[in-house]
Structure 1
């Protein structure tokens, strides 16, 4: 992890690193601001019409950072946390989740750059050649965004964990996740 040398003059330089426990408050604020409530509506990745409540709390984030098979990758621009994602090593590749880009910075290519760094990180760190993720099936715009980056909808659907408020409070009865995957090439640049 290091600097994003591919940034053009109009893109901010990014620095990547693994999150630490000292990042928990900033991570919780970032993730919740991207997914829930009015602040999330400033970006296009909001789930505010689908779910209420928090996306993550301090205890959940602390637990995530304590896992031995998990890395929370953060991206900083000018010393400010602007994006993060969860990377989890598994037996059949890596899992990508909790992808968060500050709402006011969305739509300018930052997410594309962070996703590419996440892919490089799992190849370099764990030797993983497959990235998996789950996306709410109702988020067709987001699914399309991942498909444009080489991800394929596997057709596998997982039920939403209704009754578990750590995932949020559903606003509709038909929520479910679809699985997307991508084979990661050796020469990720």
Structure 2
């Protein structure tokens, strides 16, 4: 359990980069809404019309996989692990209060997972769970979260490298990150299907793999 006296949970991280959307450190109170946003982004958000398919944004994987992208228990474990993991939450100012519209996770990248042997000397992090409510796509929220995550990598982890695992068939995501300064390591990794059968492949499972990207920080 995190010490309440030292925890950053729920604190503001950035309330000046965007006048309408602020970034916060995730807290337990965010878990329910974060679960919805992440699973909507990756698995599709139910349409208001029963005749239409669920819709998602550019990270959508529902054509490849079924099964929740994350559970509330997993989110709680990540929030508790303040030494190694930070989840940024984007909250939109509305007349009724703050509404969660996106998130991004930054965590330490274990040395034994470094792509190249020489990379083990300096701190590295991995980005993940980059999600935006499909109803708020193309409003700059994803880029706001990305910029915040980069600051976290430098300011909180003193990282020299940022790693990113992208499903290889999601070329639009790969291309966007290449434009942000990432490079293709030419390494791949299998999708983590496990014994719980939480994830069900809708295509040949061997076709679902990750391309590993890296960005070197000054």
For the pair 1:80 / 2:99, whether they are aligned, the reply is: yes
Q: CA deviation at 1:16?
A: 1.2
Q: State the match for 1:114 in structure 2.
A: 145
* TM-score, normalisation: structure 1: 0.87
Distance 1:164 1:16, change over 3 A: farther
> What pairs up with 1:1-189 in 2 under 5 angstroms?
1-5=13-17, 7=18, 13-39=20-46, 41-67=55-81, 68-78=83-93, 79-90=98-109, 91=111, 92-164=123-195, 168-173=199-204, 174-185=207-218
Q: CA RMSD in A?
A: 1.8
Equivalent pair of 1:154/1:179 in contact (CA under 8 Å): yes
C-alpha deviations, 1:13-35, integer Å up to 9, x for none? 32112101121111111100101
Aligned mates of 1:167, 1:159 — CA distance in 2: 16
Return 5+ residue gaps in structure 1 as ranges. Answer: none
Is the 2:21–2:91 Cα contact (8 Å) retained in structure 1? yes
1:125: Cα distance to partner? 1.2
CA contact (8 A) 1:2 1:17 kept: yes
What is the CA distance between 1:38 and its match in structure 2? Answer: 4.7
Change (3 A) 1:167 1:154: farther
TM-score, normalised to structure 2, is 0.76
CA offset digits 1:35-62 (Å, max 9, x no partner): 1035462423211101111101111111
Q: Distance in 2 between matches of 1:164 and 1:144?
A: 33
SS of the equivalent of 2:189 reads strand
Q: Is the 8 A contact 1:71 1:87 kept in 2?
A: yes
Summarize the Cα distance change of 1:165–1:109 in structure 2 as closer, same or farther, 3 Å threshold.
farther
Unaligned runs of 5+ in 2: 1-12, 47-53, 112-122
